[in-house]
Amino acid sequence: MAQGTVLVVDDDTKTAATIRLYLENAGFSVTLAYDGRSALERAVASPPDLIVLDLMLPLMSGTDLCSRLRAESEVPIIMLTARTTEQDKLQGLELGADDYITKPFSPRELVARVQTVLRRTTSRLNTRQTRVQSGDLTLDLSLHQAWIRGNPVSLTPSEFKLLTAFASAPGRVFSRQELVEKAFGYNYEGLDRTIDAHIMNLRKKIEADRLRPSRILTVYGVGYKFSDEGDDA
């Protein structure tokens, strides 16, 4: 029985075939796409459980494809690219990617990343509680849905976990490392600034003015905290 369905998007047919081989050996069902447009069509027609996405693609770039997907879907995305600078990684995360792996890469590591992201996005944050209410924010943990004043907010799996951690403990100051553990698990080895990128995305979605946030507040030198009153305290 397949662990899940993965869409692999890479214009290098040998790389795509290698990824497919390793993922199928690990129990996944895999489909391939070699350009951005066909990948978008496949993702819409038959939504996968996760997408492995190369950034350098013909017809539609990986960054454009990620933006299009994030506008309509919460599917987990692992970006796969030869770009190695910290800024490139942060840009990918700001677009809504859940993880980032650079070429050349170990196929076994990629399989492990896929398994980790899927476990993270399908696990329940709190098995005894199905809803979190904080001020005018409501989170349904079973539906994986958020509302502000009754209006739905589209969140990626990582954003949802972060917001749930915040809303479950308003006023508590979380360090970046604590937030990494909440969103990605104890074994995550990504950049500390990954959290800053996700916080920026969250602010775009839940703040009236992301440049003057009143919900997710920066505690300089420490981390972040959540205000359920929407003030600047």
Q: What is the CATH number of the domain that holds 42?
A: 3.40.50.2300
Report the number of distinct structural domains present in the chain: 2
Alpha-carbon span 110 to 171, nearest angstrom:
37
Residue 67 pLDDT: 86
Q: Which domain holds residue 76?
A: 5-122
What's the predicted TM-score (pTM) here?
0.57
Residue 12 pLDDT: 93
Alpha-carbon span 130 to 135, nearest angstrom:
17
Task: Print pLDDT tens along the chain (233 aa).
Answer: 457 899 999 999 999 999 999 999 999 999 999 999 999 999 988 889 999 999 889 998 888 998 888 877 788 999 988 766 666 667 667 777 888 888 888 999 999 999 988 887 765 333 445 778 888 888 888 778 899 888 899 988 888 888 988 888 888 888 888 887 776 664 555 556 778 888 999 999 999 887 889 999 999 988 899 987 654 33
Residue 188 pLDDT: 55
146: in domain: no
Residue 126 pLDDT: 38
Alpha-carbon span 223 to 179, nearest angstrom:
9
Maximum separation of any 2 CA atoms in the chain, in Å: 54
Contacts of residue 34, defined as CB under 8 A and 6 or more positions apart, other chains included, come to: 9, 10, 11, 13, 16, 57, 58
130: in domain: no
CB of 54 within 8 A of CB of 105? no
Q: What is the CATH number of the domain that holds 200?
A: 1.10.10.10
Alpha-carbon span 44 to 50, nearest angstrom:
13
Indicate whether 165 and 99 sit together in one domain.
no
Residue 69 pLDDT: 87
144: in domain: no
Indicate whether 114 and 163 sit together in one domain.
no
Indicate whether 20 and 101 sit together in one domain.
yes
Token pair 């969140």: residue = 155
Residue 55 pLDDT: 87
Residue 127 pLDDT: 41
